[in-house]
């Protein structure tokens, strides 16, 4: 057999018992979750910013970044609701490279998924406890959701996972907003079908159990651009793209039609420094069309303490080791601009 079993991973109940969420923080999170839900239900017109590092590789630098977000949140709280990105699982196009803290709590050491699961839970709890900001993470592995179900405020399903049946069915049992990205090829029908599946009830196999779900009406779209058959990036954030997406969305008659636009990845042609320009264009499109203003609920932005990216081992504090990110000064200016123009 070509698969070597290394160690048993403790179940979610065991890990949560070892690393519990403090009781008083549960109440704070419950109120924050309620506020996020109201934004997607059109009961709160604040604009969402899902913002932070491409990957959360270091607890201290991530929490320092979020501490800065928390200070800005106080200044813009009447216009913007900030959800920090704490992305602990990273899909890799070829399977190579850093796969996130859940794989390697220390990027310079060998993978240790048991310690990784504990490390990501501790980091999410620290951020939530210190800054009262429920974070976003990516659902790379559907079974990992159970380890973080009580601490997350938002989940994204990536472009490579959005067609996967297990992701869709798992989202149907999640009690928080989940963004379904368009696939790498850009087919919006795939994304919209994924949202429909996530909003429906299902019975299926999950973590060794037969489970039944009620459907997640807060599942929604994330536009992240696409890649054509020649490997060229194709943005889908321009006005015409947004109008087309909104039109197709309405045809599917889904609950709470909502769009989050990812300003990086294929939308920025992988040029991280284009994100502020892209954000400005999207805000202009929202102002121009009332339907877009209602449907586009926010932006997804990649930023960190230090701009750009580095290789593992360079050890520049607060600089991404995966995709390149905006630096803090650019981020602060961008958040202030968005607050003034939503």
For 119-173, what is each residue's pLDDT tens digit? 999 999 999 999 999 999 999 999 889 999 999 999 999 999 999 999 999 999 9
Provide the pLDDT for residue 67: 98
Domains observed in the chain: 12-341 (3.20.20.70)
Provide the pLDDT for residue 204: 97
> In this structure, what are the phi and psi dihedrals at residue 318, rounded to the nearest 5 degrees?
80, 25
Q: What is the mean pLDDT of residues 206-220?
A: 96
The Cα-based distances of 291 to 238, 242, 258 in angstroms read 15, 10, 11
Give pLDDT tens digits for 244-270: 999 999 999 999 999 999 999 999 999
Of 10-24, 96-110, 131-145, 254-268, the one with minimum mean pLDDT is: 96-110
Give pLDDT tens digits for 277-286: 999 999 999 9
93 — pLDDT class (breaks 50, 70, 90): confident
Give pLDDT tens digits for 57-69: 999 999 999 999 9
Strands 80-84, 47-52: parallel, antiparallel or unpaired by DSSP? parallel
Give pLDDT tens digits for 287-308: 999 999 999 999 999 999 999 9
Provide the pLDDT for residue 26: 96
What is the token pair recorded at 295? 């449907």
Provide the pLDDT for residue 108: 86
As a whole number of angstroms, the distance between CA 331 and CA 302 comes to 9
Structure pTM?
0.96
Q: Are 86 and 56 in contact (CB under 8 A)?
A: yes
What is the token pair recorded at 3? 């698969």
Q: What is the mean pLDDT of residues 205-220?
A: 96
Per-residue pLDDT for 324 more than 90? yes
91 — pLDDT class (breaks 50, 70, 90): confident
Helix (H, G, I), strand (E, B) or coil at 334: helix
Strands 306-309, 178-181: parallel, antiparallel or unpaired by DSSP? unpaired
Neighbouring-strand partners of residue 220: 179
As a whole number of angstroms, the distance between CA 254 and CA 123 comes to 35
Q: What is the mean pLDDT of residues 230-254?
A: 96
Q: What percent of the chain has pLDDT over 70?
A: 99
Question: Across all residues in the chain, what is the average pLDDT?
Answer: 95
Nearest to 139 by CA among 186, 97, 174: 174
Looking at per-residue pLDDT, the higher value among 92 and 164 belongs to: 164
Q: What is the DSSP string of 225-284?
A: -EE-TTS-EE---SHHHHHHHHHHHHHTT-SS--EEEESSGGGGTT-GGGHHHHHHHHHH
As a whole number of angstroms, the distance between CA 225 and CA 277 comes to 15
Per-residue pLDDT for 3 more than 90? no
Per-residue pLDDT for 197 more than 80? yes
As a whole number of angstroms, the distance between CA 331 and CA 316 comes to 18
Per-residue pLDDT for 1 more than 70? no
Q: What is the mean pLDDT of residues 215-228?
A: 97
Provide the pLDDT for residue 220: 98
Of 111-115, 178-182, 209-213, the one with minimum mean pLDDT is: 111-115
């Amino acid at each position: 057999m070509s698969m070597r079993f290394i160690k048993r991973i403790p179940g979610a109940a065991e890990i949560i018992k070892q690393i519990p969420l403090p009781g008083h923080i549960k109440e704070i999170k419950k109120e924050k979750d309620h506020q996020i839900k109201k934004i997607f239900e059109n009961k709160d017109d604040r604009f969402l910013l899902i913002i932070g590092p491409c990957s959360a590789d270091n607890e201290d630098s991530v929490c320092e970044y979020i501490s800065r977000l928390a200070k800005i949140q106080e200044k813009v709280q009447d216009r913007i609701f900030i959800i920090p990105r704490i992305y602990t699982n990273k899909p890799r196009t070829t399977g190579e490279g850093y796969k996130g803290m859940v794989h390697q709590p220390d990027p310079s050491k060998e993978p240790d998924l048991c310690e990784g699961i504990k490390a990501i839970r501790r980091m999410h709890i620290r951020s939530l406890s210190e800054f009262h900001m429920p974070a976003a993470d990516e659902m790379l592995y559907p079974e990992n959701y159970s380890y973080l179900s009580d601490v997350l405020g938002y989940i994204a399903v990536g472009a490579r996972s959005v067609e996967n049946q297990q992701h869709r069915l798992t989202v149907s049992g999640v009690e928080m907003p989940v963004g379904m990205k368009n696939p790498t090829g850009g087919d919006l029908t795939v994304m919209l079908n994924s949202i429909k599946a996530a909003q429906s009830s299902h019975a299926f196999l999950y973590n060794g159990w037969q489970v039944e779900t009620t459907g997640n009406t807060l599942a929604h779209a994330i536009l992240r651009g696409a890649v054509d058959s020649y490997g060229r990036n194709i943005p889908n954030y321009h006005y015409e793209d947004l109008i087309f997406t909104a039109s197709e969305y309405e045809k599917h008659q889904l609950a709470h039609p909502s769009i989050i636009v990812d300003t990086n990845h294929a939308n920025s042609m992988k040029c991280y420094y284009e994100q502020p320009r892209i954000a400005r264009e999207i805000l202009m499109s929202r102002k121009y069309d009332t339907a877009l203003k209602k449907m586009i609920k926010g932006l997804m932005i990649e930023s960190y303490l230090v701009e750009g990216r580095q290789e593992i081992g360079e050890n520049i504090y607060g600089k991404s080791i995966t995709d390149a990110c905006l630096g803090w000064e650019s981020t602060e200016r961008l958040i202030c601009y968005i607050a003034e123009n939503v």
